[in-house]
Structure 1
Amino acid sequence: MLDNAIIMILIILSVNVFYVSFSTMRVILTLKGRKYIAAVIGMFEITIYTLGLGLVLQNLERIENLVAYALGYGIGVIVGSKIEEKLALGYITVNVVSKDPELSFTRQLRDKGYGVTSWIAYGMDGDRLSMQILTPRKYELQLYQAIQEIDPKAFIITYEPKQIHGGFWVKQVRKGRLFKNVKKPQEK
């Protein structure tokens, strides 16, 4: 079976797609503090890597194997990134600045289940409402939509916190209550 050039190319390509996807996930899990899961994935990753590299090194005279290896690597980066996007591990912190210092903005976001800390800030042209919102990454797009519905001109900055400790929101996450008891909009 391994004597057939097309089958060999497909095997090498597939092996590298899996290897690099595992590698991407291992790195992300390590950065998110999930070291034990990352270690298990790392064991699979290195096994697959060794098999794929061995196939290429046994057949170095065949340039198509090397091309398949490189192509599989590139595809693996894309596949690993897509998997990470779907898993959406971790949390994001969103800083929002609105020209309208009216506090109903904060209340509307809290009614949707988001933990919001807000304060009045002073910008170049006057008072602003500044907010800091922490949410799981899987709710990131929903949060952006909610912000845009309330204030389409809001200034938004997003980053990933390295560590979270204390506060109302952390307690809600630990108890599994986040977004469970959200007030529903009143029907008309």
Structure 2
Amino acid sequence: MLQALIIFVAQLLYVPVLTLRTITMVKGMKEKAAVLGILEGFIYVIALGIVFSDLTNYLNMVSYAMGFGVGLYIGQIIEQKLAIGYVSIEVNIMNKNEQLTYRLREVGFSVSTAEVEGMNEERRYRLDCTARRDREQEFIKIVSSYEPSAFIVSYEPRNFKGGYITKAMKKRKEKFLKSKENAPI
């Protein structure tokens, strides 16, 4: 019974670490991905070693599978809470809404607007924004409060060049490097 509990707990640790390692790899964070990979491998070997030491112990196998499933759930919650990276959001609305645009900019979102042509050559308005992922729901909530029937699409961009976000990221990097230079040794 103790082995089954150890396997279950190991899986509860393993799968969220696997999730975070995958995210850091996709986001290009090589060093963090490598460290998490080492931890992931260590946990994996321990849990599987216990399972393979006695293949007649079905409780260990069930614990492994249950821990994996619950670990996936926990990993997903952690990923949503961390919300690493950026999201690009496109909003299509029927009419120009300057109050909405002003409100979004007022709370710190970079918003570009354009008049676009919809079906049957109807004029519509599009708002484009790139923001940190942890602010995506805030953006959608604001848009929905002003434009309940807005069509909203979001996706994760792979690269940045120029623009508001890039300037802000560069300033943060410069500030970080300057603080490291001034830090006591």
- 1:1-188 alignment runs, 5 A limit: 6-124=1-119, 126-176=122-172
Structure 1 CA distance, aligned partners of 2:165 and 2:36? 31
Instruction: Say if 1:44 and 1:127 are closer, same or farther in 2 by CA, change over 3 A.
Output: same
- 1:56 partner letter: V
Residue in structure 2 matched with residue 183 of structure 1 by the alignment: none
In terms of mean alpha carbon deviation, does 17-26 or 163-172 score higher?
A: 163-172
Residue 101 of structure 1: CA displacement?
2.3
Identical counterparts, % of pairs: 35
| CA positional deviation for 1:110 | 1.2
Of residues 108-117 and 133-142 in structure 1, the stretch that sits farther from structure 2 once superposed is 108-117
Which consecutive aligned stretches of 4+ in structure 1 deviate over 2 angstroms post-superposition? Answer: 101-108, 172-176
CA distance in 2, matches of 1:140, 1:7: 43
Q: Following the alignment from structure 2 to structure 1, what is the Cα–Cα distance between the partners of residues 170 and 123? A: 36
| DSSP 3-state at the match of 1:60 | coil
Counterpart position of 2:177: none
How much is the aligned-residue C-alpha RMSD, in angstroms? 1.3
Q: In structure 1, how many angstroms separate the alpha carbons of the residues matched to 2:22 and 2:93? A: 36
The 8 Å contact of residues 118 and 132 in structure 1, kept in 2 or not, is answered as: yes
- Distance in 1, matches of 2:16 and 2:108, equals 34
Instruction: Return the alpha-carbon distance in structure 2 between the equivalents of residues 102 and 161 of structure 1.
Output: 26
Could you tell me how far apart the structure 2 residues matched to 1:123 and 1:151 are? 17
Report deviation, 1:82.
0.9
C-alpha deviation, 1:138, in angstroms: 0.6
Output the amino acid matched with 2:46. Answer: L
Unpaired runs of 5+ in structure 1? 1-5, 177-188
Q: What does the per-residue CA deviation read over 1:82-117, in whole Å, with 9 as the maximum and x for residues that have no partner?
A: 111110000100000110124443232112210111
CA contact (8 A) 1:26 1:38 kept: yes
> What SS does structure 1 have at the residue aligned with 2:55?
coil
Cα drift, residue 35 of structure 1: 1.3
Distance 1:174 1:149, change over 3 A: farther
Higher helix share: 2
Would you say how many aligned residue pairs link Structure 1 and Structure 2? 171
Counterpart CA distance in 2 for 1:123 and 1:60 is 62
**Please, what TM-score do these two structures have when normalized by structure 2?**
0.87
Cα separation, 2, equivalents of 1:168 and 1:42: 34
